């Protein structure tokens, strides 16, 4: 990997540190119409676009999220700050997870913490997740630099400079891809395990309820027989 590629990676990492994030305090306290939501998301996440004409969020996307039970329906066509929090989670999740997996992990969140008097509330949860993610930026930057150095030490015996630089770049892409693949696999297994446990709890609850119904029925039957 030549000096130009190293400089490019360093520039990307600096950009990563400066990326726009939707800070908890950025989210308006007033309810927004759909056009206002898409504008808000585009303004605050524009730095993460790969291409200038990429869309962060569209009306169709929002409607599909609601239809697929990822996002609670708006109230009188207006979206609350809690909707913005959920949309932000969806935006990041959708790049690596299937819709079905996002649904499995977001449904418990919206069921328990969306538009309720729960403690913690959704704003508190979003704020804590935001702070956790900010602490990871330095670690991630160092990890990419380390992988870049490993890739740069590969294929040193290839004499052709262009071929060597390509293979070193390919090595870095593979290292980063393997990292993403492994983490994605871990995420999917965590979600599957959580979902299996939830299903098991539901089955036990249904079984216990049926048992209680039978118990009450027997009591009533004994009363009638007397």
Residues 175-209: pLDDT tens digits? Answer: 999 999 999 999 999 999 999 999 999 899 888 88
Predicted local confidence at residue 226, as pLDDT: 59
Predicted local confidence at residue 1, as pLDDT: 58
- Most confident range (mean pLDDT) of 2-16, 41-55, 93-107, 204-218 is 93-107
Per-residue pLDDT for 225 more than 70? no
Per-residue pLDDT for 3 more than 70? no
Per-residue pLDDT for 20 more than 70? no
* pTM of the predicted structure, to 2 decimals: 0.84
Average pLDDT of span 85-102: 95
Separation between Cα atoms, residue 1 and residue 100, nearest integer Å: 39
The band of 116, judged by pLDDT with boundaries at 50, 70 and 90, is confident
Predicted local confidence at residue 23, as pLDDT: 85
């Amino acid at each position: 990997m030549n000096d130009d590629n190293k400089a490019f990676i360093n520039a990307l990492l600096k950009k990563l540190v400066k990326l726009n994030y939707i800070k908890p305090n950025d989210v308006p306290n007033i309810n927004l119409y759909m056009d206002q939501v898409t504008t808000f998301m585009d303004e605050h996440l524009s730095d993460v676009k790969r291409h200038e004409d990429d869309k962060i969020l569209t009306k169709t996307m929002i409607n599909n999220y609601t239809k697929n039970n990822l996002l609670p329906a708006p109230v009188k066509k207006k979206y609350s700050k809690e909707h913005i929090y959920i949309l932000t989670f969806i935006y990041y999740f959708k790049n690596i997870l299937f819709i079905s997996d996002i649904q499995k992990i977001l449904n418990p969140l919206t069921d328990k913490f969306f538009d309720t008097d729960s403690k913690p509330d959704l704003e508190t949860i979003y704020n804590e997740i935001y702070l956790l993610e900010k602490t990871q930026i330095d670690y991630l930057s160092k990890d990419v630099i380390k992988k870049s150095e490993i890739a740069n030490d590969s294929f040193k015996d290839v004499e052709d400079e262009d071929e060597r630089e390509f293979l070193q770049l390919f090595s870095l892409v593979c290292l980063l891809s393997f990292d993403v693949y492994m983490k994605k696999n871990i995420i999917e297994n965590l979600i599957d395990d959580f979902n299996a446990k939830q299903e098991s709890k539901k089955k036990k609850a249904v079984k216990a309820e049926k048992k209680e119904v039978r118990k009450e029925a027997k009591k009533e039957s004994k009363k009638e027989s007397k």
